[in-house]
Amino acid sequence: MADEEESELNEKQKIDIAKWFLLNSPPGEIQFVAEDVKAVLNDDVLYEEALSEASPLYNKSQMISLEMPGGIGDVLVTSYGELSGTEYLDPRTAHVAVVDHIKQANVRPALDEELPSAYVEEFRCALDEEILRYVGEAYPKGVCSVYCGNGKDVEGPGSDFELVVVISAARYSPQNFCNGSWRSVWSIEFKDEVQVLELKGKLQVGAHYFEEGNVQLDANHECKDSTIFQSSEDSAITIGNIIRQHEAEYLASLEVQHLLISQASYSNLPDTTFKDLRRKLPVTRTLFPWHSTLQFSLTRDITKELGIGKIVADFLLVEDVGEFVNCMYSDERLAPCIILSRDFN
């Protein structure tokens, strides 16, 4: 009894375990995991606490998008647009979404101090327009936003600032037992002194297929690039082309890796998988000597058993049973041989 009491989890441990399961939910499936977690915990208080702590972290890690009331647009729930624990900036519409991470979002206009300066906003708007065009072509259900990461108060040339491009696309199809998401974050440092733009990208792909099984993909990729500092429009076009190129190359590499893995798996089926499914040795515990089968004479054994001589010998040389049936032999004693031939072939 003492050992059982010592092994009992306390409330904090139960909440931490529940949060782990919630945070590791596949894309778009936290509500299903939450139902199971609630049933396992069997404690509404602990469940509500775990869900309230895990939901904001999960939403930000998945970069989910929420539709703002009034048809204003969509807001991405990311750390780059986070103003507080429940407020997220949408730079495109200059609105702030007040998000209830378990329910939905309300909206308010952004304050001046929450927006970048006019100089930075010029570069941000140009890049936002270019990325919006790219996402519309590459990700039919994608949402994107461009944030000012650093230097939002820069008033003109001579100082550095940073823009962050966030792209999030998800496709949820639980009725077909599959869900998936694409998330990419690009940090662009505008270095005025050296007239260089430095790009750092982090790409994440998550997929879950669960029809009569459980297969998950969680892939990450990081890349870097650079280009020259130009006007806002020219910089936006160049950055858009760089992002387009790197993401297309990564998607292509995923397809190649999938094909290579599939080919490797299928090529090993005869030598490994199928052999593992078979008995290593027959019941006689000896290997069949395929290199020398003359020691086994099926013709001789059948001839001796049925006493029908050459007819059976000729029959055994016929490869097609249908052809043999059309032969002139009509001896009813051949019926067992036909059955045997089918089994043997």
| Half-sphere exposure of residue 201: CA atoms within 13 angstroms, side-chain side | 22
User: What is the per-residue pLDDT for 337?
Assistant: 40
324/322 Cα distance (integer angstroms): 5
Q: What is the mean pLDDT of residues 145-172?
A: 94
User: What is the per-residue pLDDT for 336?
Assistant: 41
Q: Which amino acid is at 102?
A: I
Residue 266: pLDDT band (50, 70, 90) is: low
DSSP 283: T
User: What is the per-residue pLDDT for 197?
Assistant: 96
Contact 174, 159 (CB under 8 A): no
User: What is the per-residue pLDDT for 84?
Assistant: 87
Query: Average model confidence (pLDDT) for the chain?
Result: 81
Contact 67, 211 (CB under 8 A): no
Closest CA to 96 of 82, 79, 110: 110
User: What is the per-residue pLDDT for 213?
Assistant: 81
Structure confidence by residue, pLDDT tens digits, 70-116: 778 889 999 999 998 889 999 999 999 888 776 666 788 898 899 99
| Half-sphere exposure of residue 322: CA atoms within 13 angstroms, side-chain side | 0
User: What is the per-residue pLDDT for 332?
Assistant: 41
Q: Check whether 340 has a pLDDT greater than 90.
A: no
- CA distances to 34, 56, 218, 296 from 78, in Å: 22, 10, 19, 74
Residue 273: pLDDT band (50, 70, 90) is: low
User: What is the per-residue pLDDT for 303?
Assistant: 62
User: What is the per-residue pLDDT for 7?
Assistant: 72
286/295 Cα distance (integer angstroms): 15
Q: Check whether 207 has a pLDDT greater than 50.
A: yes
64/27 Cα distance (integer angstroms): 9
Contact 192, 229 (CB under 8 A): yes
Structure confidence by residue, pLDDT tens digits, 27-68: 989 989 999 999 999 999 999 999 999 999 999 999 988 888
> Which residue matches tokens 């993401």?
247
Q: Check whether 169 has a pLDDT greater than 70.
A: yes
Highest mean pLDDT among 27-36, 254-263, 266-275: 27-36
147/89 Cα distance (integer angstroms): 9
Contact 229, 190 (CB under 8 A): yes
Main-chain phi, psi angles of 249, to 5 degrees: -65, -40
- CA distances to 62, 318, 322, 335 from 311, in Å: 75, 11, 16, 12
185/197 Cα distance (integer angstroms): 16
Residues belonging to the chain? 345
> Which residue matches tokens 């990325």?
131
Structure confidence by residue, pLDDT tens digits, 9-26: 889 999 999 999 999 999
User: What is the per-residue pLDDT for 28?
Assistant: 87
Crossing angle for the helix pair 298-306 and 335-344, nearest 10 degrees? 160
DSSP 190-242: EETTTTEEEEEEEEEEEEEE-SSS-EEEEEEEEEEEEEE---HHHHHHHHHHH
